[in-house]
Structure formats: C-alpha cells, structure tokens
Structure 1
Amino acid sequence: MHFTSERRLGDGVLEREFTLGEIPGILWTPASASASAPVPLILLGQPPLGMRQMYPRLAGRALRCAAGGFAAATIELPGSGDRPREASAEQARAGMRRAVEAGEPVGDEIIDALVLPLVDQAVPEARAALDALLELPEIGGPVGYSGGVISIGVRLAAVEPRIVAAGLFAGSFVPRAVLEEARRVTIPLHVLLQWDDEGNDRQAALDLFDAFGSKEKTLQANMGGHTGVPQFAGEDAARFFARHLR
C-alpha cells in the first residue's frame, strides 16, 4: 500500500488516497484514531460506476462512519474507473442493457457472465486491502462491510472471518450460485431493499434474504426507487454497525 495524497475534511477526518499495487483506493480515518486508540474499520462497497463518479456518496458515507468512531475505506472495482475493461464483461453488460430496454427478463446466463467474474476478482482484492489496512497502527478492527454489489458482499461475508457484520443493499442482480453461498453466511446482517427499485428483482432479493444462514438478520424495506433511499435508512445502518463493531 502506497499513500499518494491526504487532506483534512470536516471534523478533522483524514482522507488519504492510496494504491494497492495497481488498484486505487481511499481511506478515511476519524480524528480520534491513533496508534494508542485504534478504531474499527468499515469497508465501503460501491457499484461498478467508478470511484470518482461515486466519490460524493462514498465521502458522505465515510463521514457518517467517522462520526460513529470508525475508519472507512474503499477500492476501485475491477473494470471500473481507469482499470482495464474485460471484453466478456462488456458483452454481458450490453446483453443486460438490451434485455432491460426491451422489457425482457435478464436471463441467468447474462447474470452469471456479468456478476460471477467480478465477484471472483473483487473479493480477493478486498481481502488484500484488508491485509494492508489492518497493518496500519490506527486501525485495529473489527471490520464491517457496507453496501456495493450485493454478490460481492455475500461472498466476503461467507469467506472473510475478519468481517463480523455486514450492511447490504439489495439493488443488483444475484446469480443462483451466490444464492447458495448465502446459506454459509452467519454474521449479523442489515439488508436494505427499495421496494420499487426499477432495476431490481424484488422476489430474488427476498429469496436471497431468506437464504442467509445468519441468526441475526434484518430486512429494512422502504418505498421508492433505487435512488430514493430515505435518510433515516442510513441512520439505522449506522446504529447496526455501532452495535456490532464496538
């Protein structure tokens, strides 16, 4: 990990950009974080739109984390931002767009081709980022995961023992293989579902929630579309992490 820039945001939050090999990322730490008082970490997931495009929302989420006494970090997803594009992923994305524009269901073959390679690459990268971040003296764990592509969150929750709680957003396509992986997830979960999300299969989201093996799992469903998440939903998620990361 190599830090490339730093600046102070509101309330003394330190924002540092970094690279992990060829992967760019951002780390936010609250003013209270120090080697003598290390803080827990929340890994912020994001959609595959590019970290720069998502920056305002990511920074807002990070500042909310810092207000709760947590560090937050994110890394660029494979094929996003300035990272190289995969031809197979671009073909799958084009197939998905054609199906959606035609009002047709997006088939399992397209969903698998679009999501599974992303999960296979993104999860090891996220775990490598955790390796580097948890070596910093001001970050001591435990670790939470928040938002982003839900299939990545499911895989991480199933295979990464350092993640003790996850807040997931049911807003993306889920392969059947990921549905099976969900049965191995046992950590506490807070799942947000926008009931009228135009790009989400509501029944698939409910089936995924049902499949999770966690004894503690909460589904918060709110009316509205994909971008209509109410402010109090973020506040509820913050309380969830406060319960499990302190």
Structure 2
Amino acid sequence: MHFTSEQRLDDGVVEREFTLGEIPGTLWTPESAASAPLVLMAHNNGLPKADPRLVARARYTAARGYAVATIDAAGCGDRPRSAADEQARADLRRAMQAGEPVDEIFESFIGPMVEKAVPDWRTTLDALLALPGIDGPVGYSGGWTALGIRLAVVEPRIAAAGFFAGGYVPRAQREEARQVTVPLLFLLQWDDEGNPRQRALDLFDAFGSEEKTLHANLGGHTGTPWFELEDGCRFLDRHLK
C-alpha cells in the first residue's frame, strides 16, 4: 500500500489517498485516536469513491472514532471498463430514457462487477489491517448492497453491516442474503423511484441475521435523512467497539 497524499481536515479527520497495485483508495482516520475499528464503505453499485455523499458519510463516521476506507473497484470510478461494461451502461441509459424494463440489463453488469470487486476489497482489507492503529472487528456500510452481501458471506472479519436499499441487487446476491448472519441495519427510502419497495422488503426478510433492523423513511432515492448517519454510527458502536 502506497500513500500518495495526506491532509488534515477541519473536523479532526486525516484523509489519505492510497494505491494498492492497480487499486486506488481513500482512508479517513480520526486524528486523535491511537487505534480505531475499521469500516469499509462503498457507494451505490460502484459509483466513484470521490462521490460527495460517500465522502460526507466517511468523514462523519471517521470523526466518530472509526477508520473508514473506500476504493474504486475494477470498472468503477476512474478505473478502465471493458467494452462489455460500456455496452451494458449504454443499453441501460437507452432503456431508462425509453421507459423500458431495466432489471435484466442490471443483471448483466452488476453481477460480474460484484465478482470482480470482492477480491479487490479483500486485498484492501488485508493491507489496511496490517497498518498501525487500525483494528478489527470490521464493519461494512454502503449503498452497494450486492457487494456487501457477498463480503458478509465470504469474509469472516466483517462483524456488522449497514446496507442502503437503493441499489440493484442481482438474483445471486438475493439468494446469498440467506447466508448473511451478522447484525444488520437496513435503510429503505419508502418512495425510491428506482427500487421497488416490495423487493427491498423481501430482501430484508431474506437476510439470515438474528439481529436485523429496518429503518424506512419517506422520500425518494437521495432523500435519506441525515440523522440516519448518527443512528448508523450508534449501530457500529454496539458491534465494533
């Protein structure tokens, strides 16, 4: 892991950009803490790590005493996309503009994206836990629910997960949800125009966790109330500290 930049922010958080082979990432840590539990944070279906909503959540969580890391997985952010990825995205834009069904198009590229992303995230997790001042247990938080489901199934170091119901979850990950057993906080926007409510409720029902909590709020896809950040950190506090 090679750190390429470092800056101290006005909320008492240190932000460092890094590269790990071909993987670019960002790490936020509380300036005052000698050690901190780690939270992996990913945004909706592989949106860039620099997305303002992700950065705001990461900085808030780091200020509450956590080390928070995110990466651009293969085909996401500034990393190269295959011709098949580009075609799938073009098909998606065309279908959405025409008001056509898009689930099968999402299946065609979100599923492979998860398969490619998981090894990168696990490699990053290995490198982060080797750094001084970053400890387990590990949490996952993010809108890329499909990735979080797979990581929670295959990665025993993840002890708790917070998911946002706004991203498309392929059929394979909906089936894998039954294998997720860690404590879970699931956020749902009741009027999310891109995520059918019943499908999100069915996914919540499918999770195998004995401790799982659903927070549903009125509003569209980007209307998650700010107070859910505070509640999310209290959830992490219960399971990671």
TM-score w.r.t. the length of structure 2 is 0.94
Cα deviation, residue 87, structure 1: 1.6
Q: Percent identity between the aligned chains?
A: 65
Cα deviation, residue 59, structure 1: 2.7
One of 171, 178, 182 as aligned partner of 1:183? 178
One of 103, 111, 118 as aligned partner of 2:106? 111
One of 38, 59, 63 as aligned partner of 1:41? 38
One of 89, 98, 101 as aligned partner of 2:85? 89
1:31-180 correspondence runs (5 A): 31-34=31-34, 38-47=35-44, 48-52=46-50, 54=51, 56-108=52-104, 110-180=105-175
Partner of 1:28: 28
Partner of 1:201: 196
Partner of 1:242: 237
1:149 touches 1:169 (CA, 8 Å); kept in 2? yes
Alignment partners' CA distance in 1, 2:172 and 2:112: 12
2:43 is aligned with what amino acid? Q
2:26 touches 2:49 (CA, 8 Å); kept in 1? no
Alignment partners' CA distance in 2, 1:223 and 1:23: 37
Tell me which stretches of 4 or more aligned residues in structure 1 moved more than 3 Å.
none
Alignment partners' CA distance in 2, 1:214 and 1:208: 12
Instruction: List per-residue Cα deviations over 1:98-119 (Å, max 9, x = no partner).
Output: 33222232243x2221211110
| 2:139 counterpart SS class | strand
Gaps of 5+ in 1: none
The number of aligned residues is 240
Gaps of 5+ in 2: none
2:23 touches 2:71 (CA, 8 Å); kept in 1? yes
Cα deviation, residue 121, structure 1: 0.8
| 2:216 counterpart SS class | strand
Instruction: List per-residue Cα deviations over 1:73-98 (Å, max 9, x = no partner).
Output: 11012212221112212222222223
One of 197, 216, 223 as aligned partner of 2:211? 216
1:243 is aligned with what amino acid? R
| 1:10 counterpart SS class | coil
| 2:111 counterpart SS class | helix
2:47 is aligned with what amino acid? L
TM-score w.r.t. the length of structure 1 is 0.93
Cα deviation, residue 224, structure 1: 0.6
- Root-mean-square deviation over aligned CA pairs: 1.4
1:27 is aligned with what amino acid? L
Instruction: List per-residue Cα deviations over 1:44-76 (Å, max 9, x = no partner).
Output: 111333223x0x323321222123211101101
Cα 1:107–1:58 change in 2 (3 A) is closer
